[in-house]
Amino acid sequence: MSEKRSSFTGKIGFVLAAAGSAVGLGNIWRFPYLAAKYGGGIFLLVYLILAVTFGFSLMVAEIAIGRKTGQSAIGAFKSLDKRFSFIGVICAVIPIMILPYYSVIGGWVMKYMVGFVTGNAANMANDAYFGSYIGKTFEPVVWFALFIGITALIVLFGVQKGVETVSKFMMPVLVVLTVFIAVYTICTMDGAMDGVIYYLKPDFSHFSIMTVVAAMGQLFYSMSLAMGIMITFGSYTKKDISIEASTRQIEWFDTGVAFLAGLMIIPAVFSFSGGDHAALKQGPGLMFVTLPKVFDKMPGGSFIGALFFVMVLLAALTSSISLMETIVSFLMDNLKLGRKRSCFAVLVFSLLLGLPSCFGYSIWSEVTVLGMQLLDFFDFASNSVLMPIVAFVTCILVGYILKPKAVIEEVEISGPFKSKRLFYVMIRYVAPVCILAILLSSVLNAFGIIKI
Ligand code: PHE
Shortest-distance Cα residue to atom 11 of ligand 1: 224
Nearest atom of ligand 1 to the alpha carbon of 29:
12
Is any atom of ligand 1 closer than 6 Å to the C-beta of 438? Answer: no
What's the gap in Å between 261 CA and the centre of ligand 1?
15
What's the gap in Å between 193 CA and the centre of ligand 1?
30
- Residue 60 pLDDT exceeds 50: yes
Shortest-distance Cα residue to atom 8 of ligand 1: 319
| pTM of the model as a whole | 0.92
The answer for 166, left when phi > 0, alpha when psi is -120 to 50, beta otherwise, is alpha
385: exposed, middle or buried (Cβ count in 10 Å: 0-12, 13-18, 19+): middle
Q: Could you tell me which residues are beta bridge partners of residue 372?
A: 369
Q: Which tens digit of pLDDT belongs to each residue from 64-97? A: 999 999 888 888 999 999 999 999 889 989 999 9
311: exposed, middle or buried (Cβ count in 10 Å: 0-12, 13-18, 19+): buried
Which of 94, 319, 321 maximizes ligand 1 atoms within 8 Å of its Cβ, making it the mutation to test the pocket? 319
Is any atom of ligand 1 closer than 6 Å to the C-beta of 230? Answer: no
What's the gap in Å between 183 CA and the centre of ligand 1?
27
Nearest atom of ligand 1 to the alpha carbon of 254:
4
Is any atom of ligand 1 closer than 6 Å to the C-beta of 321? Answer: no
What's the gap in Å between 219 CA and the centre of ligand 1?
10
Is any atom of ligand 1 closer than 6 Å to the C-beta of 27? Answer: yes
Higher pLDDT, 430 or 163: 430
Shortest-distance Cα residue to atom 7 of ligand 1: 224
The answer for 371, left when phi > 0, alpha when psi is -120 to 50, beta otherwise, is left
Res 2: pLDDT:
38
Confidence of residue 7 (pLDDT cuts 50, 70, 90): low
Res 262: pLDDT:
97
Q: Where are the alpha helices (DSSP H) in 118-237?
A: 121-124, 129-134, 139-156, 160-188, 192-200, 209-222, 229-235
Is any atom of ligand 1 closer than 6 Å to the C-beta of 24? Answer: yes
What's the gap in Å between 315 CA and the centre of ligand 1?
10
Q: Which tens digit of pLDDT belongs to each residue from 163-222? A: 778 888 888 999 999 999 999 999 999 999 999 999 999 999 999 888 998 999 899 999
Q: Output DSSP code: residue 284.
A: G
Average pLDDT over residues 133-141: 96
Q: 198 and 273 in contact (C-beta within 8 Å)?
A: no
Higher pLDDT, 2 or 214: 214
Q: Which tens digit of pLDDT belongs to each residue from 351-378? A: 999 999 999 999 999 999 988 888 989 9
Which of 222, 231, 330 maximizes ligand 1 atoms within 8 Å of its Cβ, making it the mutation to test the pocket? 222
What's the gap in Å between 380 CA and the centre of ligand 1?
14
| Neighbouring C-beta atoms of residue 123, cutoff 10 Å | 11
Which of 30, 322, 325 maximizes ligand 1 atoms within 8 Å of its Cβ, making it the mutation to test the pocket? 322
Res 5: pLDDT:
47
Nearest atom of ligand 1 to the alpha carbon of 25:
12
| 3-state secondary structure at position 427 | helix
What's the gap in Å between 82 CA and the centre of ligand 1?
28
Is any atom of ligand 1 closer than 6 Å to the C-beta of 323? Answer: yes
Cβ contacts of 126 within 8 Å, gap of 6 or more:
none
Q: Could you tell me which residues are beta bridge partners of residue 369?
A: 372
Q: 30 and 102 in contact (C-beta within 8 Å)?
A: no
Cβ contacts of 50 within 8 Å, gap of 6 or more:
212, 215, 216, 219
What's the gap in Å between 319 CA and the centre of ligand 1?
5
Is any atom of ligand 1 closer than 6 Å to the C-beta of 222? Answer: yes
Res 160: pLDDT:
58
Average pLDDT over residues 409-436: 95
What's the gap in Å between 189 CA and the centre of ligand 1?
32
Res 1: pLDDT:
37
| Nearest by Cα to 74 from 56, 87, 64, 61 | 87
Is any atom of ligand 1 closer than 6 Å to the C-beta of 394? Answer: no
Res 14: pLDDT:
76
Res 3: pLDDT:
44
How far is residue 330's CA from residue 440's CA, in Å, rounded to a whole number? 29
Average pLDDT, the chain: 91
What's the gap in Å between 205 CA and the centre of ligand 1?
31
Res 277: pLDDT:
85
Nearest atom of ligand 1 to the alpha carbon of 94:
9
- Residue 232 pLDDT exceeds 90: no
Q: Which tens digit of pLDDT belongs to each residue from 319-332? A: 999 899 888 888 88
Please give the single-letter amino acid code of residue 342. S
Is any atom of ligand 1 closer than 6 Å to the C-beta of 100? Answer: no
Average pLDDT over residues 89-116: 95
Confidence of residue 264 (pLDDT cuts 50, 70, 90): very high
Shortest-distance Cα residue to atom 9 of ligand 1: 224
Confidence of residue 8 (pLDDT cuts 50, 70, 90): low
